Amino acid sequence: MRILVVGAGAIGGYFGGRLLQAENDVTFLVRPKRASELASAGLVIKSPGGDVTLDNPPTVQADKLTKKFDVVLLSCKAFDLEDAIKSFTPAVGPQTAIIPLLNGMLHLNVLDKKFGAERVLGGLCAIAVMLNEAREVVQLAPMQSLNFGERDGAMSERVRAIARVFDGGKFGAVASEHIMQDMWEKWVFLASLAASTCLMRTSVGNILAVAGGKDFLLGMLDECSAIAKASGYEPTGPFFQRTSGLLTTEGSPMTASMFRDIKAGLPVEADHVIGDLVARADAAKIPVPKLRIAYTHLKAYEKQRSA
């Protein structure tokens, strides 16, 4: 199975690297600078599950991409999606399966329009990982998983085949028969965490330590959950209990990656993660005052950053 990993940053570098370590046919679609880094230093993964250096991993640049691939693993940020599509389009053939690991749902519409819904699986990952100053992939905690599946819930032969390959990566690959529910639940959690920690500019623990903090966090979770329910994907009891627990753990240092991006002055996925939920709430006539303020805050940050 030929696998094209779009990008070799934190997410793509980790999952693609583990697949390559398991001796799969993996190629990284990268820009010239990243190609040079990988050629000189290799793809370095530092992880609680074991460090590895993959010397001279296979790479290709967009202007040299001509071959078709069986699987495209897409791990870019939402604001890079259009450029990513332009770069990997030559790799998509009639039988190619695209597995996007982006947050939210807007990217599905974009990919469906370009490639046809039959080529686009559902997908998500859960991992705390970053690139350090040496451009090494650093996994910050043992947690790791990658879920994927047919969006209609079928357990197709192509999903089974991908699962057999991904199992070798030993990163918690799950062939899901309810991938859309999985994606919605991750979105609810991520949006609740991102909206809260970005708006308050601090960690869950610090929010909880002040008057009204717990009510604020759980209120944000309730708003996001109500939107999911109205869209036909009501969060399950176990998910809600687990997420509520994470958002009410005293002293928790947890923040969203979006908050860390704000601190670093980087672009954020305001429209994709938060704005789309607000739009869906408006369509369903669901009041979401906390989420709406968080979205306004993020858009103001984007305006300031662009200036």
The domain segmentation of the chain, as residue ranges, is 2-177, 182-306
At 184 the pLDDT is 97
pLDDT in tens, 226-276: 999 999 999 999 999 999 999 999 999 999 989 989 999 999 999 999 999
Q: Could you tell me which of 99, 88, 94, 92 has the C-alpha nearest to residue 121?
A: 99
User: Rounded to a whole number, what is the largest CA-CA distance in the chain?
Assistant: 58
Q: Please state the rounded mean pLDDT for residues 203-224.
A: 98
Distance separating alpha carbons of residues 148 and 138, to the nearest angstrom: 23
- The pLDDT of residue 86 is above 90: yes
Residues of the chain above pLDDT 90, percent: 97
CATH classification (class only), 2-177: alpha beta
- The pLDDT of residue 279 is above 90: yes
pLDDT in tens, 168-201: 999 999 999 999 999 999 999 999 999 999 999 9
Distance separating alpha carbons of residues 28 and 61, to the nearest angstrom: 8
At 232, is the secondary structure helix, strand, or coil? coil
Please give the C-alpha separations between residue 215 and each of 103, 189, 220, 248, in angstroms, as whole numbers: 25, 16, 8, 10
Q: What is the DSSP letter of 89?
A: G
Q: Which amino acid belongs to residue 94?
A: P
Q: Please state the rounded mean pLDDT for residues 2-24.
A: 97
At 1, is the secondary structure helix, strand, or coil? coil
At 36 the pLDDT is 96
Query: Mean of the per-residue pLDDT values for the chain?
Result: 96
pLDDT in tens, 16-69: 999 999 999 999 999 999 999 999 999 999 999 999 999 999 999 999 999 999
Please give the C-alpha separations between residue 153 and each of 72, 179, 232, 236, in angstroms, as whole numbers: 20, 7, 14, 17
DSSP string computed for 267-294: ---IIIIIIHHHHHHHHTT---HHHHHH
State the pLDDT confidence band at 93, using cuts at 50, 70 and 90. very high
Quick one: which H or E segment has residue 34?
A: helix 32-41
Tell me which of 68, 186, 285, 299 is the catalytic residue: 186
- The pLDDT of residue 304 is above 90: yes
Distance separating alpha carbons of residues 102 and 167, to the nearest angstrom: 21
Q: Please give the CATH superfamily to which domain 182-306 belongs.
A: N-(1-d-carboxylethyl)-l-norvaline Dehydrogenase; domain 2 (1.10.1040.10)
DSSP string computed for 146-201: EEEE-TT----HHHHHHHHHHHTT-S-EEE-S-HHHHHHHHHHHHHHHHHHHHHHT
- The pLDDT of residue 296 is above 90: yes
Q: What is the DSSP letter of 240?
A: H
Active site residue 186: yes
Q: Which amino acid belongs to residue 253?
A: P
At 141 the pLDDT is 87
Distance separating alpha carbons of residues 77 and 64, to the nearest angstrom: 23
